[in-house]
Structure 1
């Protein structure tokens, strides 16, 4: 069994719009004698000092019921305008060995990463992933990107409840291989998209699951290997 843990390295955040100030109406008379009025209102961003709780990965907007394979994960608690609120810890089980390649498949099918954009500027963002090298727990043997990679499989973005903007988009295919130790972009919200809270679903399609692929020659002995999935959220589109 190979276990990956998640490390969040970004703390940016989310917010809701609230109405503030007063509304002023002014009247004017039109040539036909009817009346036109104008109204003014001040809008300001809401309080982003609190974190966004993990939401159900089905996109319903309800509270996350939890993952039996990741029971202690309560979310990141990140606050601010642009945040990663939750990232699943993935557990991989080896299920095949063919042509010199060991394939291990993630077992938790409720896996997801939750992103919240409460800036309400429409500037967009990028979701990046760096899978770390694997380290053997018995002899500290390391397996790096020359011998192993992660295949995320079929992934998608879901709005958590009602959406306030267009969807972000996935930037990898189901067979894109991400070498261990190298950063890759896995999702992007273009300008004017990705506002609110979004669910990046992983390992939900059994036909194209999330996989770990390792050259068999790199495995010196049977043991548990661990690594880190480092998720990074950036407000830059470049």
Structure 2
């Protein structure tokens, strides 16, 4: 059951908004073949929950699955200097104090079904993993999903697989010229410069990304704007 979206690999939510379920696509080429290469805009990565079929009817498998998901880091660690000679590192809290209650309720099939329904519709509840902008969405997404990319590795370190995530793309501009790949490499991931917008017809993308990031606090973005 889905509340706000279906179960297709690619869903056109509106004229300029598309939701991609990468878990239903085989390989990076299958993902990229569905993304136009002449469109700029804003995009967001979302965590996807893949529920073991055995967990639906097995309370122990169900409880173990939920606990495993709870133990995954839900944000990137933050580190800063504390003058004159110290630094502070903040790491996400992954402990869960209600394990016994979870295992008790797991025996109730209606509780399992309720939680499965909620996880299947997790986009309603969750904050984005990452929000970004690009003058060429095809090039930017290609750089994110390639092996060794900064975002891919950042998510993997926390137990999340980028090629099993959901990706929301909002098209805002159309480019007749190809944007050089060098502007879309991952070294621009958290510090995209104004030069990127010399190629954009809608510099408002930068403001849209900044507003969305500050409102919804993407958990694996290190800097906004």
Relative to the length of structure 2, the TM-score reads: 0.29
Larger fraction in strand: 1
Relative to the length of structure 1, the TM-score reads: 0.28
Larger fraction in helix: 2
Please identify the structure whose Cα radius of gyration is greater. Answer: 1
